[in-house]
Every structure is written in structure tokens, then in C-alpha cells.
Structure 1
Amino acid sequence: MASLHGRGDVRFFDRVASLYDRLMPSADAEALRAGLAFARRDVDRVLDVAGGTGRASRALARGGLDPVVVDFSRGMLARARADGHPVVRADAGSLPFRDDAVDAVVVVDALHHLPDPERAVREAARVVAPGGVVVVQEFGPRTLRGRGLVLVERAVGFDSRFWTPTELCTLFAAAGLDARIVSEGFEYVVVGRVEGTDA
């Protein structure tokens, strides 16, 4: 699970924000860096979309990046801000950034919670400059642990939507991204590069 964006489960994440980082493992910095490595431009400006308390931002900060955490949950953003991350309160489906504003967008353990994931992916692609990347880490619903997670999220009352890595690549391609699978398994990573004239 990760922080929820759009409107659906935001109240839940507001309530658990103070405990969230104690319950969740750190983001996989190595997997995220592997996704960012597909960029054909220097990656300096990064958005951690649906970033919650900044789990992905903390992982990337160890490599020298300082992502902006974008989330709709006030409680989660308060935790990210307290950790020193720059934050913006916004819906993942309507990012308040101009076209080509950043070099990369990362979405970690959160796309399945978004009320309109297709729109969120299109928005991510819009704000990433040519040669930049959109990196998504998600849960494989057909793995043993993934099937368990799907059941747990249904029991909690989430209306989560999960994809296999191949299905997520198809979603990326529909948004105009050059998609590829970086890693597979329970927590997999898919990257989509924005094509065009590279910087």
C-alpha cells in the first residue's frame, strides 16, 4: 500500500500518516535508480507523485536527488515536509506543473490506489521533458504475495486496481511512453521514456 491520491482513500491515509513509516519498508532505491538510468537526459528535477510521506524521495536522496513530493493527503504531506522534503498538494491526475517541467516522475506503491490511473500516467508523461522517464514500482497481482495483497486491500475497502508488468507497459504505451520492464516479481518496476528531441 502507499499513499492515496485523487479522492478515494485519502482519509484513511490521513489517519495513518503518523504510523505509516513505521509500518512500511523503505523504498527500493536500487530499483528506482535502474529505472531512472533509462533516461536520455540528466536527471535532476524529479517528482515523487503520490509520494505520501516521501518514502521514494528518502531513497533517492541517498543518491543525491531531492524530489518534490506530490500527494493529495495533507497528513502524509505533513510527514514528508517534517522530513525536509519539498511538497506540493495535488491530485496525480491534474499535476500543477507545466509541460516538460521535470526530468523524471516516480510513483512508488501507489498507482493501484489512484482513481484514474490512466490520466495520472498521461499527466506524468506530460510534465516529463523529452528523454526523461516515468518510473513506476507496483505489486504483481499474480504473484503469491500479490494475490494476498489484493485480498487484504479489498478487505480494508480499497478499490485498488492492479496490473501485471506487461499490462502496465501497455498502459504506458497508450500514454505515448516507450515502455519496458525493469524488474519483475512481487514488487516490479516499469519505466516509460518520453520520446522526442532529447536535451
Structure 2
Amino acid sequence: MTRATLDKQPHEVASMFDDVAANYDLTNDVLSLGQDRRWRKEVAKAVDARPAQKVLDLAAGTATSSQPFARAGAYVVPCDFSLGMLRVGKKNHPWMPFTAGDGTKLPFRDDVFDAVTISFGLRNIQDTDQALREMYRVTKPGGRIVISEFSHATWAPFRTVYEEYLMRALPPVARAVSSNPDAYVYLAESIRSWPDQPTLAGMLQKAGWSKVAWRNLTGGIVALHRGFKA
């Protein structure tokens, strides 16, 4: 079994997600206490996919996150660098155009997508700044980016309880429901080390995105960032 480290070597991260692909969606549902369903709904609202629009769902995994955009009539491309995730996704959704790709070097032309979104995957990419620039490159002028990512709870007492859950409760729960519980130790560590909401907003602006804003979900455990390509 593979466990990535915080230097996020791409082959380690991809192999780790290959290991957990079969039970990934179920494990997330258990570990988030069902909150992941609400977070996906909020992402869908923020992306606001329309018929005939092209949407890139980066770090899409098994494409659970892609389904709301497809139901809205958009042409959705689920993209991930874990072949194990893509295989599970293709088995479940054989009609979708699954694409293998690295977030730092996307296999798409410039100015292709009306919207680019990534949910709980940006922190797993080794070079965040490069990934944000790549997402900007493949987005059409006037298009948008929506990032859903674990972040930092805004109320200090709640933040303490949440971090205790991450480091103490999450690993034993993961051992009960996941094929690779060590992967969820990495998950907890990567969440704790991830930049806070204003820092990520600054990174988006540096990559060229305009009108950058964010809003917190579940007390700041998750943040939705959005920006536009001028």
C-alpha cells in the first residue's frame, strides 16, 4: 500500500489514489459524516453549468463530482492522474470522456473550457501555482474557476476540535472502511498544512484570475473559491 508524503511526489499520490479507488466514494461519505454531499451541491451551484458549455472537472476521480454538470446539460471532461480512479469511474459511467492528465501540464488546448473546477484535489498537486496557471490557460476568456478544498475553521474552539478529529479519530475510522488507511493519515496532514482562505485567494490572483472571492462551508472546514478569466 502506498502513502504519499507532504512533498507530494506525483507518482506517490497517483499510486495512493489507485489503492483506494474501489471504496473511495463510500469512504469519503463516512469520514465526512455525509457532509460531502452538501459540499458537492454547493460546488454545482457555484459552477452553474449550462447546456452546451464545456466543463473541465479536474481531479475528478471516479467522476462523482462530474455528475451534476452532466445533468445540467454541459459537456463534462473528468480528468485525473490516477488511472485506478479513472478505471472505476469508466466502469460506473462508461459514456463519460475520462481523460488522464497531470494538473501541472493539462492535455488540452488554450481557451477551451467555459468552467474549470477541482474539488478536494488541488492540495494533492505538487505545484499549486503551476496548476492554477494551467487551469487559467485552458479556460476561455470570460470563463470561471471554482475550487472546493478543505480549509481552516474560522472559530478557534471549533478548529481545535476539528484538528483533533483529523489527527486522532480519522485514522481509526479509515482503518475500518478504507483499503488503504495510511492514505487518510496523509489526508489529515495535507489538510493541516494547506494555506488558509486569503492565502489561496492571493495565489489565484497571482495566476491571473480576476474577481476572486471565497465563502466558507461548515464553519470554514471547506472553502469555495471562485475567479474569472478576463
**Superposition TM-score, scaled by structure 1 size:** 0.82
How far off its partner does 1:8 sit? 3.4
What's the offset of the Cα at 1:146? 5.4
Aligned 8 A contact 1:141 1:186 in 2: yes
- Look up the SS of the partner of 1:99 in the other structure: coil
Provide the residue aligned with 1:188 in structure 2: 223
CA distance in 2, matches of 1:156, 1:29: 23
Q: Which amino acid aligns with 2:214?
A: I
User: What CA deviation, in whole Å up to 9, does each residue of 1:152-178 have, x standing for no partner?
Assistant: 689724673412221111010000101
One-letter code of the match for 1:165?
A: Q
Question: Quick one: which amino acid aligns to residue 172 of structure 1?
Answer: L
Does 1:116 pair with 2:127? yes
Does 1:147 find its partner at 2:160? no
Asked if 1:15 corresponds to 2:19, the answer is: yes
Conserved in 2, the CA contact under 8 Å of 1:141 and 1:147? Answer: no
Q: Does 1:80 align with 2:89?
A: yes
RMSD: 2.8
Looking at structure 2, the residues matched to 67 and 97 of structure 1 have their Cα atoms a distance apart, in angstroms, of 13
Q: Report if aligned partners of 1:29, 1:56 keep a CA contact under 8 Å in 2.
A: yes
What amino acid maps onto 1:121 in structure 2?
L
1:162 matched to 2:194? The reply is yes
**Maintained 8 Å contact 1:36/1:43:** no
Greater displacement, 42-51 / 76-85: 42-51
Return the index of the structure with the highest Cα Rg: 2
State the number of aligned residues.
190
Distance 1:142 1:157, change over 3 A: same
1:107 to 118, 122, 137: 118
Q: For residues 68 and 141 of structure 1, what CA distance do their matches in structure 2 show?
A: 30
CA contact 1:140–1:146 (8 Å) conserved in 2: no
The separation in 1 between residues aligned to 2:9 and 2:227, in whole angstroms, is 21
Partner residue in 1 for 2:178: none
* Deviation, structure 1 residue 108: 0.2
The equivalent residue for 2:205 is 173
Paired residue secondary structure (1:82) = helix
When normalised by structure 2's length, the TM-score is: 0.72
Indicate if the aligned counterparts of 1:53 and 1:79 stay in contact, CA closer than 8 A.
Answer: yes
Structure 1 residue 33: deviation in Å?
3.2
Range moving further from structure 2, 148-157 or 54-63: 148-157
Give me the whole-angstrom Cα distance separating, in 1, the residues matched to 2:86 and 2:53. Answer: 21
Change (3 A) 1:45 1:135: same
Q: Is the 8 A contact 2:112 2:140 kept in 1?
A: yes
The equivalent residue for 1:129 is 140
What SS does the corresponding residue of 2:107 show, helix, strand or coil? coil
Identical-pair percentage: 30
Q: Which moved more, 1:5-14 or 1:142-151?
A: 142-151
- Are the equivalent residues in 1 in contact too, given 2:62–2:89 (CA < 8 A)? yes
Question: Residue 192 of structure 1: SS of its match in structure 2?
Answer: strand
1:28-39 superposed matches below 5 A: 28-37=39-48
> 1:16 and 1:30 mapped to 2: Cα distance?
24
